[in-house]
């Protein structure tokens, strides 16, 4: 097996586990509301803290990965988020849940930052965009697996034991740690001959952060609440699990599809096309008028949204190819996780919107949020420097 295959496989699966743990809580909102008395704002805040912890992890461990290597940080991140998922599972006090969720998010940020860069740097140059898309397909794979778990375990989410079993599936990625340790190789040598200042690349950093923020805000305004939104609109629970699983399988395949055709079509054109698809999809998935609340058309909107979002990894690929290796992990990881924080904030705000206006009025807010945030993505990419000169030591 080619050496880089292990790096790609481990990074993809660790990223899938990362997202699995991030999203799993969204299926337990009704249980946590009923059994622990948590409000919707507290529930969406718990989801948000996982995202907010990411930017801390990306900043701290991104610098460590640039100094000590990607593999060790990938090991720490994977073991860390899996372990704290177990601690979160058995906590019932909101303060402890919030603390464990934040720490888990820090390790999530560490894993993504190191794992993605490790896979990209091990890949042949002609396959970098394709490899990056495969790794990012782990996002959709992890989300799809939450739908599968919900399909099989949703009937048990009416007892504390069933809740424990459902949430403890998030610790399974611990099994990846020995695989990463023994099978992934890295001959990392920190470059000390030339010091590269992040400030020299502030324009890239700002635009990357804006683009990632726009993507996270748009995506999470839909998917962080859609299982509960669908449940409120009388979608059968088993159908919700199937819907989210299929949607994210489509998303995973779309990541690979966009990554593959980016070798023949400008990544920027693919991004613009994807944005148009997202705008159409969000109005189908979350209609403004109740007469359009039809399960087949809403499901079609979810599927179209999942496919259209396939351009997302191209943004991180553009960022990674725009800066030197000395700051690549830090800049790509931090900009990505700043976007995650933005998505976390919007998720918490959506929780408060539900409290104030009810689930029925949520589509008005979500559709507007998508239009505004995707406009930011378009502007950031449209103004991105076309001639990229990366200084390699």
CATH of 3-184+199-382, one of 1.10.20.60, 3.30.499.10, 3.90.1150.10, 1.20.1250.20: 1.20.1250.20
DSSP assignment, residue 187?
-
What confidence tier does 195 reach under pLDDT thresholds 50, 70, 90?
Answer: low
Residue 229, token pair as written in the block: 């939104």
Residue 236, token pair as written in the block: 């059968």
DSSP assignment, residue 391?
-
Return d(Cα 250, Cα 253) in angstroms, integer. Answer: 5
Return d(Cα 136, Cα 116) in angstroms, integer. Answer: 8
DSSP assignment, residue 234?
T
Neighbours of 2 (CB within 10 A): 10
User: Is the model more confident about 141 or about 189?
Assistant: 141
What's the pTM value of the predicted model, to 2 decimals?
A: 0.77
Contact 105, 52 (CB under 8 A): yes
Rounded mean pLDDT, 281-286: 94
In sequence order, the 6+-apart residues with CB closer than 8 A to the CB of 108 are 18, 21, 22, 50, 53, 54, 57, 77, 81
Q: Where are the domains of the chain?
A: 3-184+199-382
Angle between helices 70-89 and 40-68 (to 10 degrees): 160
Lowest mean pLDDT among 82-96, 117-131, 206-220: 117-131
Residue 14, token pair as written in the block: 């660790």
DSSP assignment, residue 233?
T
Return d(Cα 103, Cα 110) in angstroms, integer. Answer: 11
Instruction: State the pLDDT at residue 389.
Output: 44
Instruction: State the pLDDT at residue 392.
Output: 45
């Amino acid at each position: 097996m080619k050496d880089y295959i292990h790096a790609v496989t481990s990074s993809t699966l660790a990223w899938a586990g990362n997202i699995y743990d991030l999203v799993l809580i969204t299926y337990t909102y009704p249980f946590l509301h009923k059994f622990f008395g948590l409000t919707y704002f507290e529930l969406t805040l718990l989801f948000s803290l996982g995202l907010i912890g990411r930017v801390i992890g990306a900043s701290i461990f991104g610098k460590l990965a640039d100094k000590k290597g990607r593999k060790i940080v990938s090991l720490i991140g994977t073991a860390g988020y899996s372990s704290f998922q177990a601690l979160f599972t058995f906590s019932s006090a909101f303060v402890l849940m919030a603390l464990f969720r934040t720490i888990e998010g820090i390790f999530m940020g560490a894993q993504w930052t190191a794992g993605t860069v490790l896979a990209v740097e091990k890949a042949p140059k002609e396959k970098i965009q394709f490899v990056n898309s495969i790794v990012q397909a782990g996002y959709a794979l992890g989300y799809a697996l939450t739908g599968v778990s919900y399909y099989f375990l949703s009937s048990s989410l009416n007892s504390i034991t069933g809740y424990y079993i459902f949430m403890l599936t998030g610790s399974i990625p611990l099994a990846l740690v020995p695989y990463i340790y023994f099978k992934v190789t890295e001959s990392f040598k920190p470059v000390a001959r030339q010091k590269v200042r992040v400030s020299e690349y502030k324009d890239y950093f700002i635009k990357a952060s804006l683009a990632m923020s726009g993507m996270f805000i748009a995506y999470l305004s839909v998917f962080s609440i859609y299982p509960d939104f669908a449940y409120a609109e009388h979608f059968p629970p088993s159908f919700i699990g199937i819907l989210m699983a299929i949607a994210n399988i489509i998303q995973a395949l779309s990541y690979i599809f966009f990554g593959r055709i980016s070798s023949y079509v400008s990544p920027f054109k693919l991004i613009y096309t994807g944005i148009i698809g997202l705008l159409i999809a969000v109005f189908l998935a979350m209609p403004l008028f109740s007469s359009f609340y039809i399960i087949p058309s809403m499901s079609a909107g979810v599927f179209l949204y999942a496919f259209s979002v396939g351009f997302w990894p191209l943004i991180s690929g553009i960022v990674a190819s725009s800066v030197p290796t000395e700051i690549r992990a830090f800049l790509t990881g931090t900009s990505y996780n700043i976007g995650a924080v933005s998505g976390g904030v919007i998720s918490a705000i959506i929780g408060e919107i539900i409290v104030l206006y009810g689930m029925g009025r949520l589509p008005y807010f979500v559709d507007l949020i998508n239009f505004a945030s995707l406009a930011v993505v378009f502007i950031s990419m449209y103004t991105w420097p076309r001639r990229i000169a990366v200084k390699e030591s």
